[in-house]
Amino acid sequence: MCALAARAAVDEVTYETVSFFDGLGGAYASAASAGLPSTLEIKYKIDRRPDEANGEQGSVTFAVRNTASAGWTGVGFNSNPGMYGADFVIFEPGATTGTFRDMYNHKKPYETPLDDDHYTITPVRAFKSSSSVEFEFSRPLVACGVSDLDNTTPWRRRARKLLATIRGGETEITDGANYMSDSQDVSINAKEGIYLLYAWGTSGTLAYHASNARGAAFVHLVDTPTVNTFSQTTYVDVKPKVATTMPAGDTYYACTKHDLGTTARYVTAWEFINDNAAHLHHAQIYACTDGTDAQNDVFLTGNANSVASKDHGYSVNGAASTGDATIAASDVSSCGDMNLKCAEVLVSWAVGGNRVVLPDGTARKFGGSGANDIRYVLLERHWNAGAKAMTDASGFRMFTQSTPPSNGEIGMFLVGLPVTSTIQIGANGVYNRVGNCPGGCTNRLLSQDMNVFAYYPHQHTTGRASYVRHIRNGVELAPISSTPFYDFDFQVFNWVNNFTRVIKPGDDLVVECVYDTRGRSSTTPMGEGTLQEMCFMFLMYYPKMDLFSCFDLQMFSKTSCSPPGGLNSRTGVDTTISRLVTNTITLDTPYANSAIPTCAASVNVTSPTTPLNPNPNPNPNPNPTPPVTGGQARFGGALFNSVCALVVIVLAA
């Protein structure tokens, strides 16, 4: 745990007499390339201590200049662009001094950040003019008192129940708060990168901001992965040829057919073309094949709905779309009514998703004339129209090259729980669900080592956290993915730490999803609706293999892990009992974390008469808010959304 320094926090500094930002030395790097607004500049420098390898952490110093306002300015750190789980530094300018506040947010929906129980930043200096502010501070790279488990959650708090989920065969832990992170600081030393959040206002103290005075930018502060260089003028759009009719209602899965032709193209990056951000939940492109020859049009061998599907085609570099000459808004089908052999996800997007750029030398082949080339695909759009029918033409823009990748094709591996109402999440509480992908499945699916480079968690509105644990020969390794603060509004692809994790044939994988159903009086089933739940983890990897999913069918005590070719429907689940694998996993040695031994931190005192809290933040969400229901507004992306007033803290030196 953290070793608290025997000093009071100094959070107030007297202004410098002249501006210092332009005079920062060459040791400072600029975050301008991350896409910050022109009026906000952030520079930083990394201090790596000589004995960091032995456990002593390094620090990072940030310098910020805001020329849009001379009022309060905040910067934050998070694994996604939202507030949930974020760590903030708020600078509040007074007449002759500036105050630095160390703050955090553990609430969904978002509320005004709260002051940390322990003050872990070090103010350096500040300057104020009539139209701008500058401030500089340092903070640890690794958050106080955390382990390498996920760089956020104290290992001691999670170890007990994590072990029970495997040895005891438990699939639901009813004291799920054990899995909820209570960390008020976010580590930024991990190589997966960090989102810099920012906001400002015109007053001298923290208050609600204007909609154009906040945002987020993604940066790699410590190390940067090497990714593909691609042309933004060479692309293929896969989207409806005409906007299709989307009926009224909370949940509609719309599917359209697309023939990508026999010209081979290699996708190096993609982004989503979103026509209706307020109504789209997610979208995916599935490969369609009968498992023998991808040139066979499986739409013609399905049921009447799939046979009647018209080809919406694709467009190249903004040209007219291919596909059927005559096509109407009604040429769209409910995905569940098509009974198609389209199982493998090729590209994916969900609410708040970001552009995906693949590692250097990797790509995914679309089109082609070979028996294994992906020619026919299914575009799925999950739509929530509400009370009024609408039309939509959303889809994907895939940036392409004509040459094969030097390091091979990428694939998507989906692990977790199937979409079935037989799996329920308890009412009015915090719960953990567990899905096992045993070594028998990875032995069957993996023809060679799998190099995982990115992950993308997917839950719905009660989802609060997710993890993928990794076990080899009974010994637990560091987790492949850690999302201690899952935010439905920002479902982004994340780099794995160190940019690559190897999964070997025979390795066991355990997916854990945490849910907060407080405020719901009945159980929540797994299902396709937004108010139902899911527990998926998309693992992006190379080189591509003939695999797609590993789903724990807990109703059979078995796991589904058959190759995707010929699997019925886009669910990717094989329910033939003889092909399922027993879902038992044995754990002999839990993950041995490398805890940071010390972390200098001062107690954040709210007033001279307030005693220290002997048990800071015992419940990360003591006042739960009922979940958002259909038709209500969702304030995704707003930094510092609440208008609640906070008392300004001034600590004596």
Decide which of 50 and 636 is more confident.
50
Q: In terms of domains, do 460 and 569 share one?
A: yes
Q: In terms of domains, do 529 and 580 share one?
A: yes
Distance CA 300, CA 288 (A): 12
Q: How many CA atoms lie within 13 A of 444 on its CB side?
A: 19
Which CA distances in Å does 152 have to 312, 594, 619?
Answer: 45, 13, 16
- Pick the last residue of a domain from 409, 435, 453: 409
Domain housing 554: 154-174+412-585
Look at residue 291 and tell me whether its pLDDT is greater than 60: yes
**What confidence tier does 174 reach under pLDDT thresholds 50, 70, 90?**
low
Q: In terms of domains, do 424 and 468 share one?
A: yes
Q: In terms of domains, do 61 and 129 share one?
A: yes
Distance CA 193, CA 455 (A): 13
User: With the C-alpha atoms ordered 487, 457, 475, 557, is the resulting torsion angle positive or negative?
Assistant: positive
Look at residue 641 and tell me whether its pLDDT is greater than 50: no
Residues β-bridged to residue 282: 350, 382
Residue 470 maps to which CATH number? 2.60.120.230
Residue 3 maps to which CATH number? 2.60.40
Q: In terms of domains, do 231 and 220 share one?
A: no
The runs of H, that is alpha helices, within 308-433 are: none
What's the whole-number mean pLDDT along residues 539-552?
A: 94
Angle at 401 between CA 400 and CA 402, to 5 degrees: 130
pLDDT digits (tens, 9 = 90+) for 114-131: 998 878 899 999 999 999
Q: In terms of domains, do 237 and 292 share one?
A: yes
Q: In terms of domains, do 335 and 276 share one?
A: yes
Nearest to 75 by CA among 108, 110, 48, 101: 101
In contact, 512 and 433? CB cutoff 8 Å = yes
Q: How many CA atoms lie within 13 A of 436 on its CB side?
A: 28
The count of structural domains within the chain is 3
DSSP 337: G
Look at residue 534 and tell me whether its pLDDT is greater than 90: yes
Q: In terms of domains, do 190 and 239 share one?
A: no
Q: In terms of domains, do 443 and 495 share one?
A: yes
Q: In terms of domains, do 260 and 326 share one?
A: yes
Q: How many CA atoms lie within 13 A of 355 on its CB side?
A: 14
pLDDT digits (tens, 9 = 90+) for 192-221: 788 999 999 999 999 999 989 999 999 988
pLDDT digits (tens, 9 = 90+) for 150-159: 444 333 334 4
pLDDT digits (tens, 9 = 90+) for 57-106: 678 999 999 999 999 999 999 988 999 889 999 999 999 999 999 999 88
Decide which of 453 and 568 is more confident.
453
